[in-house]
Amino acid sequence: MSSGERGPAAGSAARWVSLLLPGLRHYQAGRRGLGAALAASWLFFVATAAYAWPRIVAVPRTGSLDDWIALATLIAGLAAVGWAGASGHPAAVRLQ
């Protein structure tokens, strides 16, 4: 399947579901390795955010520069994995 083609999970319902679990559309389209990697990355970032939630909430009040950098990295990671998993962007498909 070329990077411009859409798999069987290209419908709008799959797009909404993939917002909750990025990589699902890739997995359903037969790109199982990429889909599993995106889902695992997303779950890692979400688990990290859940574990560190008290520190995340405290960053605006008491955060050092290191805390701000860690928070920005966490947000950028979540955004990047979410974007790559939900959009089915050709850049994500090339990682296959």
pLDDT tens digit sequence for 23-75: 777 777 777 788 888 888 888 988 999 999 999 999 999 878 999 999 999 99
Q: Is residue 6 part of a domain?
A: no
Q: Is residue 76 part of a domain?
A: yes
- Domain hosting residue 41, numbered range: 12-93
How many structural domains are present in the chain? Answer: 1
Q: Is residue 47 part of a domain?
A: yes
Torsional class of 7: left (φ above 0), alpha (ψ -120 to 50), beta (otherwise): beta
Q: How far is CA 61 from CA 12, 56, 75, 76, in A?
A: 40, 10, 18, 21
Q: Is residue 5 part of a domain?
A: no
The yes-or-no verdict on residue 3 having pLDDT over 60 is no
Distance of CA 67 to the CA centre of its chain: 21
Mean pLDDT of 78-91: 69
Residue 77's H or E segment, with its range, is helix 65-87
Q: Helix/strand/coil (H, E, C) string of 43-65?
A: HHHHHHHHHCHHHHHHHHHHCCH
DSSP assignment letter at 30: T
Model pLDDT, residue 6: 52
Q: Is residue 42 part of a domain?
A: yes
